[in-house]
Amino acid sequence: MQFVKLQTVSLVEVNSQSSLQAADFAAETLHKNLMTELQFGSPDFAEDALERAYLTTDSQMKYAVPASCGTTAVTALVTRKKSTDGPRVLYIANVGDARGVLCRDLMNSPVAERMSIDHKPADQAERSRIEQAGGAVINQRVLGVLAVSRALGDHELKSLVSGKPQIQTAEIPGGSGGVLILACDGIFDVMSDQEAVDLLVSKSKEFQAEIEAKHDTSKQKTLGTGGKNAEQHLATFLARALVSEAMRRCTRDNVTALVALL
C-alpha cells in the first residue's frame, strides 16, 4: 500500500494539576516519536507506529518527570491511499479517558461514533489485568489512587498502569464532511458523545449564518467545501464551543478539546 498524504492530529491532556509536567513532556515528545516511527517504518504498519510511539514516550517519561506524574493521551492519524480520491483510513490511539469521537457526515447524518476506549480501573478487562499484575482496584481507582488504568508516566504505579494504547480504525470516504473530536473527560463528564456532535451541528449552522450575514468572502467556504483558512476558523470555533458548553454545564475537571474537519 502506498500513501501520498499523511496527517496527524494529537491531543495530550492532564490527569490532575500535579501532572502538568507530564502533560507538557508528552505534548512535546509523543508527536515527534510518532513522526520518527512513520519516517523509518512502513506506512502499512500505522498501528505499530502508534503503539511504539506511545511506549517510547512512556519510557522516556521515567527519566524526565517525577514518578508520581502522568497524563492521558489520545492521538489521531489519518492516511490516504495512492488514489487522491480514495478512502482515507483513520487511526485513533489512546490511553486513559481522553476520547475520540467521529461523525462521518456532520450536516447530513450527524451520528456520533466512539473511536476510543475509556481505560477505567473498574472495567472488567482492566481490573483483571491489574489484579493479575498483583494490584487491586479500590474505590474504582488503581490501589485507591489513580482514576485511570492506562496512562503515560505514573511510573510509581507502572507495573499496574499500562502505557500501551488501544487503537481503533475506520475508513472515511474522500470529501465526506466528517468531523473528529478529541477531548478530555472534562468534556464528556457533562455531555454524551451524541450531545457533543449535536452541539457541533448547531454551532456549524450558527457559524455559516454569521459569515453569510457579514458577507465575508474569505470565510464563506466552510465544512466540506474547501478553503483551508475557513476550515481552520470553523474548527477553532467548534472546539471553543465544546469547551464553553462544558463550562456552562459546570464540569468539575480540566477541559481540553480539539476538532478536526475530515
Q: Which residues contact 46 (CB under 8 A, 6 or more apart)?
A: 38, 77, 79, 89, 91
179 vs 15: which has the higher pLDDT: 179
What is the mean predicted confidence (pLDDT) over 223-248?
84
Give residue limits of the domains in the chain: 3-261
pLDDT > 90: what percent of the chain? 68
The top-scoring range by mean pLDDT among 6-15, 70-79, 207-216 is 70-79
pLDDT tens, residue by residue, 128-187: 999 999 999 999 999 999 999 999 999 999 999 999 999 999 998 767 789 999 999 999
Q: How far apart are CA 44 and CA 41, in angstroms?
A: 8
3-state secondary structure 185-213: HHHHCCCCHHHHHHHHHHHHHHHHHHHHH
- pLDDT higher than 70, residue 107: yes
- pLDDT higher than 70, residue 86: no
Q: How far apart are CA 133 and CA 127, in angstroms?
A: 10
What is the mean predicted confidence (pLDDT) over 15-34?
82
Q: How far apart are CA 258 and CA 100, in angstroms?
A: 10
- What is residue 227's predicted lDDT score, i.e. its pLDDT? 57
- What is residue 168's predicted lDDT score, i.e. its pLDDT? 97
- pLDDT higher than 60, residue 17: no
Confidence of residue 12 (pLDDT cuts 50, 70, 90): low
- What is residue 208's predicted lDDT score, i.e. its pLDDT? 87
Enumerate the β-bridge partners of residue 10.
Answer: 75
- What is residue 1's predicted lDDT score, i.e. its pLDDT? 30
- pLDDT higher than 70, residue 218: no
**Which CATH homologous superfamily contains domain 3-261?**
PPM-type phosphatase domain (3.60.40.10)
Confidence of residue 3 (pLDDT cuts 50, 70, 90): very low
- pLDDT higher than 70, residue 222: no
- What is residue 2's predicted lDDT score, i.e. its pLDDT? 34
- What is residue 101's predicted lDDT score, i.e. its pLDDT? 97
- pLDDT higher than 70, residue 44: no
| Cα angle, residue 111 at apex, residues 107 and 112 outer, rounded to 5° | 120
Assigned C-alpha cell, 144 = 485507591
- pLDDT higher than 70, residue 236: yes
What is the mean predicted confidence (pLDDT) over 210-225?
60
Q: How far apart are CA 148 and CA 88, in angstroms?
A: 31
Q: How far apart are CA 43 and CA 178, in angstroms?
A: 23
3-state secondary structure 112-167: CEECCCCCCCCCHHHHHHHHHCCCCEECCEECCCECCCECEECHHHCCCCECCCEE
pLDDT tens, residue by residue, 52-71: 999 999 999 999 999 999 99
119 φ, ψ to 5°? -90, 95
- pLDDT higher than 50, residue 4: no
Q: What is the pTM for the complete model shown? A: 0.88
Q: How far apart are CA 22 and CA 70, in angstroms?
A: 5
| Cα angle, residue 153 at apex, residues 148 and 157 outer, rounded to 5° | 65
- What is the radius of gyration, based on Cα positions, of the chain? 19
Q: How far apart are CA 249 and CA 94, in angstroms?
A: 25
